[in-house]
Amino acid sequence: MRATLDWSYSLLDPDQQRLFTLLGAFRGGATLEAVETVAEAGDEIATGNVLGILHELAEHSLVRVRGDRLDLLEPVAQYARSLLVGERAARIGRAHARVYLGLAEQAAAGYERADQVEWLERIEEEEANILVAVERSLDAGDAPTAARITWFMWLYWWMRGQFTIGRRLAEQCLATELPPWERSRVNLAGATMTYAAGDHAAAAAYWAEADLVAEGQDDPEVRSKARAGTGLAALADGDLDTAEGRFRAALDFALQDRGSPWMASLVHVWLGTVHLLRGEPAAAIPEIERGLRLARSRGDRLATYVALYNLSQAALALADYQLARQRVEEGIVLSRETRDLANLAYFVETLAVIESKEDNHVRVATLLGAATGLRETVGADVYAYYLPDVSLRDTAQQAARTALGDDAYNEAVTAGRSLDPSAAPELA
């Protein structure tokens, strides 16, 4: 294979050889725009010449063009990478990292708006390039670039259940010297990833460190997120008064100039959660609805379904099962659009509780099985700040088992658990 590729490479002219080896910097393919930008920024080939050379490489069967993306077969990509060495590799690597830092930053803003789904899909296509940009930047001693990409990626990893990757990269970045802007935000990223994985003590430490770094930097965005995070840690410990105080401080920071309107919507929901845990569902509803209105005003699905889930729990507490169903069904649709399987599991489980009120015991068992399967796919609960009344689930589970008998109940659970994650929402 190597001899064949050596022969094919020898047939290329110098510009073709330069572009071919430059393509070795990418992983999982790339858009024409990305290749053109890296080629020009790396002082390789003028933007206007790239497309023509790519077509020539395709004629040599070295490049595949599919829609608006191009890629190399893996053996060919490995060969191209083997030829990209020395200072040239470093220069092109820096250009590649700048391109994907810019893309990750654009996407991070998009995750909080109506084009959330489009950005999630775009980043999924480029995930391999983004990961290699982080790793290459760390290897090259450019920790600030690695840290910035890691920060911009955290919400993507959260919604895709990839917190192990996020935590590893955050820890690697924090092991280096970083300026305050980057250090505070990578601490936030590390906090969310460890929290999603269920390590709440580590998350609290990261949030506290982020708050400390940001305190001297007049950085209300970080302070709002760090204070909210420490509020979530207090919530997990059952310290409702401390949680409420921290959430209110977070809200003050979030509403300042350069704060975080996105965080403001979530903090309103979490203040509602405090009311729910105090046994005050009627008081929880207006607080959560404030968060819901803010989320809807931005077209933000994630903050919207976080609010909807908590409103479904308030409706259950008030025995308004029709309203609870409406909240859950909308949340399932939105979770499906973002492919947030961890969140979907909570909605499916809540739907089982609602179905139990109508004695739909087979559906109860199937839904509970589907929720278990979704959580197994993700590997963690992730949304640890969802604190439903588990006695409602346990009662529904026991009623279904009693009505169906052990064999039929277990059969329905197994059927739900074995559903493909993409099929689970159809149960609604």
User: What are the structural domains, with CATH classification, of the chain?
Assistant: 1-84 (1.10.10.10), 86-217 (1.25.40.10), 218-308 (1.25.40.10), 339-428 (no CATH)
Return d(Cα 214, Cα 283) in angstroms, integer.
33
The pLDDT of residue 424 is 61
Return d(Cα 306, Cα 267) in angstroms, integer.
11
Tokens of 73: 């077969």
Sorted by sequence, the CB contacts under 8 Å of residue 290 that are 6+ apart come out as 268
Helices (H), 237-340: 240-254, 261-277, 281-298, 301-317, 321-338
Tokens of 348: 């499916």
Structure pTM?
0.92
Return d(Cα 284, Cα 35) in angstroms, integer.
51
Under 8 Å between Cβ of 193 and 157: yes
Q: Name the amino acid, one letter, at 126.
A: E
Tokens of 289: 């609805």
Three-state SS across 110-137? HCCCCCHHHHHHHHHHHHHHHHHHHHHH
* Nearest residue to 275 via CA among 249, 240, 323, 318: 240
Query: Tens place of pLDDT for every residue, the chain, 428 residues?
Result: 788 887 888 888 999 999 999 999 999 999 999 999 999 887 778 878 899 999 999 999 999 988 889 999 999 999 999 999 999 999 999 999 999 999 999 999 999 999 999 999 999 999 999 999 999 999 999 999 999 999 999 999 999 989 999 999 999 999 999 999 999 999 999 999 999 999 999 999 999 999 999 998 889 999 999 999 999 999 999 999 999 999 999 999 999 988 789 999 999 999 999 999 999 999 999 999 999 999 999 999 999 999 999 999 999 999 999 999 999 999 999 999 999 999 999 999 999 999 999 999 999 999 999 999 999 999 888 898 899 999 999 999 999 999 999 999 999 999 999 988 777 656 66
Return d(Cα 311, Cα 357) in angstroms, integer.
18
What's the Cα-to-Cα distance from 295 to each of 298, 307, 311, rounded to whole Å?
A: 5, 8, 14
Burial 31-50 (b: 16+ CB within 10 A, else e): beebbbbbbbbbebbeeeeb
Given its phi and psi angles, is residue 86 left (phi above 0), alpha (psi -120 to 50 degrees) or beta?
left
Backbone angles phi, psi at 30, to 5 degrees: -165, 165
pLDDT tens, residue by residue, 47-62: 788 999 999 999 999 9
Burial 335-366 (b: 16+ CB within 10 A, else e): bbebbbbbbbbbbbbbbbbbbbbeebbbbbbb
Sorted by sequence, the CB contacts under 8 Å of residue 97 that are 6+ apart come out as 133, 136, 137, 142, 145, 149
Sign of the alpha-carbon dihedral angle for 309, 313, 316, 318: negative
Under DSSP, the state recorded for 63 is: -
Query: Which residue in the block uniquely carries the two structure tokens 């790239």?
Result: 50
* Nearest residue to 106 via CA among 95, 122, 127: 122
Query: Which residue in the block uniquely carries the two structure tokens 């509803």?
Result: 285
CA 385 to chain centre: 16
Tokens of 400: 């279904």
Starting at the edge strand found earlier in the chain, the sheet holding 64-66 runs 30-31, 69-71, 64-66
